A and B are shown apart, each in its own frame.
Chain A
Amino acid sequence: MTLLDLANPTKFLSLTARVLPWLAGATAILLLIGLYQSAMAPDDYQQRATVKIMFIHVPNAWLSMFVWGVMSLSALGTLVWRHPLADVAAKAAAPIGAAFTFLALVTGSLWGKPMWGTYWEWDARLTSVLILFLMYLGLIALWRAVDDPSRAARAAAILTLVGAINLPIIKFSVDWWNTLHQPASVMRMGGPSLDKAFLIPLLVMALGFSLLFVTLHLAAMRNEILRRRVRALQMMQASQQAA
């Protein structure tokens, strides 16, 4: 099966039917291993047991940006290549990305209270991630507001590409401004600064959450294709009744 074949929704549905059970199984196994490793990880000398929040906060924070990146590529697919599944992919990814961003914000807040003494601070990192969350909600609202999927797709694609400007701002906010949030400790020049006792569970959890995203995204794309079939058949039925 080539990439071109996947442009055909029927072939895409057939592929998802075959790979989804395997992806779901691999996700469950990885997350279980990650959870076990997170539980067994030692306390940090400064943060004590709250370091365990890192194993769920960081993967959700990474995915909040990654999902917008996927949606930006899909937006290019909609506007430039007019790929038939591009806007399906973008629309299906938005609620999942919003959920990851919400979790990154709330777990960060629950980590911040014991470490910083506050649940929230209007600093560059926290504020830019909150803006990302609001942009996800805006996109979901836009898709719901416009009936015709192809019209909604073009408007959403433009909004997504404009919103992508926020991604480097989130990533480098801790370097460009004075923030309460710590600087990058995994994806940084010179390699990760984390000890292996924390780095390995973190990477396993990140891989598990990434697979979770792929699984949920494929399933949500399948639903969106079926929803469009329902819409097409309903329109056909209405025109038959009108004739």
Chain B
Amino acid sequence: MALGPYATFIVTSYALVAAVVLILIVWIAIDYRRQKAQLRELEASGVTRRSGRNATDIR
């Protein structure tokens, strides 16, 4: 696979897409952990949902 004189444009494009997709995945994963941690903290402080169900249980 020879990219010729346009290699910089092609490699930059693919690298940028990979970077942005990775940032999206990491951001969503960190946000999930943060929300779960906050819910655990609130439940530990004695606040519970009206239904009485565990707020962090999503299964």
Contacts and interface: CB of A to CB of B under 8 A. Distances in A.
- Looking at chain A's contact residues, is the secondary structure mostly helix, strand, loop, or mixed? helix
A151 B10 CA distance: 44
Interface stretch (A51-59, A134-142, A158-166, A185-193): A51-59
B9 A212 contact: no
Sorting the interface of chain A by its residue count into under 10, 10 to 19, 20 to 34 or 35 or more gives: 35 or more
A106 interface: yes
Interface in A89-124: 95-96, 99, 102-103, 106-107, 110-111, 113-114
B59 A17 contact: yes
A10 B53 contact: yes
Contacts of A43: 4
Sorting the interface of chain B by its residue count into under 10, 10 to 19, 20 to 34 or 35 or more gives: 35 or more
A216 interface: yes
Contacts, number: 101
Contacts of A230: 35, 38-39, 42
Interface in B4-34: 4-7, 9-10, 12-14, 16-17, 20-21, 23-25, 28-29, 31-32
Given A10-B53, A114-B6, A212-B21, A53 B58 contact: no
Nearest to A212: B21
Contacts of B28: 216, 219-220, 223
Contact of A49 (B10, B16, B23, B53): B10
Contacts of B14: 52, 56
A226 B13 contact: no
Contacts of A113: 9
B39 A229 contact: yes
Given A40-B1, A52-B10, 12 more contacts: A14-B58, A17-B59, A43-B4, A48-B4, A49-B10, A99-B24, A103-B17, A106-B13, A219-B28, A220-B28, A223-B28, A233-B43
Interface of B: 1-7, 9-10, 12-14, 16-17, 20-21, 23-25, 28-29, 31-32, 35-36, 38-39, 42-43, 45, 47, 49, 53, 55, 58-59
10 contacts: A52-B10, A53-B9, A53-B13, A56-B13, A56-B14, A60-B17, A216-B28, A219-B28, A237-B42, A240-B47
